[in-house]
Amino acid sequence: MEPITAYVHFPWCLKKCPYCDFVSFAKAREEIDHRGYADAVLAELARRAEVLGQRELRSVFFGGGTPSLWEPEEIGRVLSAITAAAGRLSPDLEVTVECNPTSLDESRARALRASGVNRLSVGVQGLDVERLRFLGRLHDPDGGLGALTAALRSGMPRVSGDLIYGVALGTAEAAREQRPEHAAAEARAVASTGVSHISAYSLTIEPGTSFGELARRGRLPLAGDDGVAETFFAIDEALEAQGFTHYEISNYARPGHEARHNLGYWQGVDYLGLGCAAFGTVSRPDPRWGLRSAGAGDHGEAPGEAFAVRYRNLVSPERYMAAMVEGGQTIPVASDERLGPETRLSERIMLGLRLREGFDLEAAAAALGVPAWSAARRKAAERLERAGRLRVDGGRLSVPRAAWVFADGIAAELF
């Protein structure tokens, strides 16, 4: 059986962070229709379950939003239905819930564990009061570290902490950048709690966010590229010294504790998206879904061509819930697109080069039924290899660690 993963989107937060471009809406916990939203997700699952029944389920990820706001009982109901629909469960099935420190304590962590969750990912984001306030976070440094400690005390098998670096304070004209040594100290502090995984992301300014609008108007303090690169390597050095392996550009793990769900994305595994605004990418989806791009023959595919469909569910929670309650034979979506094998190979290059081990270009191309090496790709790879920005070992490609900060641009040259 081919592997597949499942992603469940929970769209509510206590507060919208100014840098966040994920679909989320501010709402108090008591105002959320916890059971009604779970019922809607279950209704969607019932109409997509045929795809799961043909695959081995590798992981389930509850993201958001702030899924730790969702009542654990409802998470458990959804999780039970997903695992029951799977053709087979991976022996090391990973079930992750994203958490914010303001909605996670030891009691809630224990309840999540009892519902079948075996991994928590906690958004610590920083350990500096001023920087946390600038990022719009509702917790203080002690709250972030305390949430990690509470999760570990609960007996949760695996706990991850998230950090954001490359944050500047002050004004656009006089920005005060985070020092690399300070970011490294924060990473060591998170590691010292006993977590087995750490994600460290450079702050990115996305259009459509509060920060994006401030940047457009020239009013947002921004860190320079050189300082961000120095900080990246300072964190790398600090966490490697703590026994973590830097296995993906933004992720570190103790041996055996890599994020299996995210590895699925980087390795090109199909994923079923459930919930409002969720994306999914599925090879040969069930034709009963009624997707505009799903019908082979409508787009001139050759028989057996390795295409997939990427869809996005309705973005509004209210519209999504109403559509699922109404039922029907098809699932209304906000958008969908057909991904041909060349597009899928480009995505494998972009994501696979984020991994320390890289990926096997020739194996990926063979699985998709397309050539691995065009003349232009071969020429680009040779140029990048001479420049020390790409390692080519037969059909396997990887980016040397010293060039990781250029990974996106390197991948683009190979498309």
Q: pLDDT at position 296, please? A: 39
Angle value at C-alpha 72, between 55 and 26, nearest 5 degrees:
100
pLDDT mean across residues, the chain: 93
Give residue-wise pLDDT tens across range 234-246. 999 999 999 999 9
Nearest Cα to 150, choosing from 95, 101, 187, 200?
101
Residue 262 identity: N
Dmax over CA atoms of the chain, in Å, equals: 60
Residue 396 identity: R
CB atoms within 10 A of CB 184: 21
Is 0.85 topped by the overall pTM?
Answer: yes
H/E element holding 259?
A: none
Give residue-wise pLDDT tens across range 261-304. 999 999 999 999 999 999 999 987 776 676 665 443 344 444 44
Residue in this structure with the two tokens 């600038």, named with its chain if needed: 134
Both ends of the chain: CA-CA distance in Å? Answer: 29
Q: pLDDT at position 292, please? A: 62
Judge whether 166 and 223 are in contact, CB under 8 Å.
Answer: yes
Give residue-wise pLDDT tens across range 346-400. 999 999 999 999 999 999 999 999 999 999 999 999 999 999 999 999 899 999 9
Give residue-wise pLDDT tens across range 37-90. 999 999 999 999 999 998 999 999 999 999 999 999 999 999 999 999 999 999
- For the chain, percent of residues with pLDDT exceeding 90: 91
Nearest-angstrom CA–CA distance, 321 and 12: 14
Q: Residues 134-142: what's their mean pLDDT? A: 97
Q: pLDDT at position 95, please? A: 98
More confident residue, 9 or 287: 9
Q: pLDDT at position 288, please? A: 67
Question: Is residue 331 very low, low, confident or very high in pLDDT (cuts 50, 70, 90)?
Answer: confident
Nearest-angstrom CA–CA distance, 288 and 386: 50
Q: pLDDT at position 286, please? A: 73
- E-strand spans in 67-209? 88-99, 119-125, 158-165, 168-170, 175-177, 197-202
Specify the DSSP class assigned to residue 287: G
- For the chain, percent of residues with pLDDT exceeding 70: 95
* Whether the bond into 126 is cis, omega within 30 of 0: no
Q: pLDDT at position 289, please? A: 73
DSSP β-bridge partners for residue 197: 160, 253
DSSP 204-226: ---TTSHHHHHHHTT-S----HH
Which domains does the chain carry?
3-263 (3.20.20.70), 343-413 (1.10.10)
The number of angstroms, rounded, from the C-alpha of 310 to the middle of its chain's C-alpha atoms is: 16
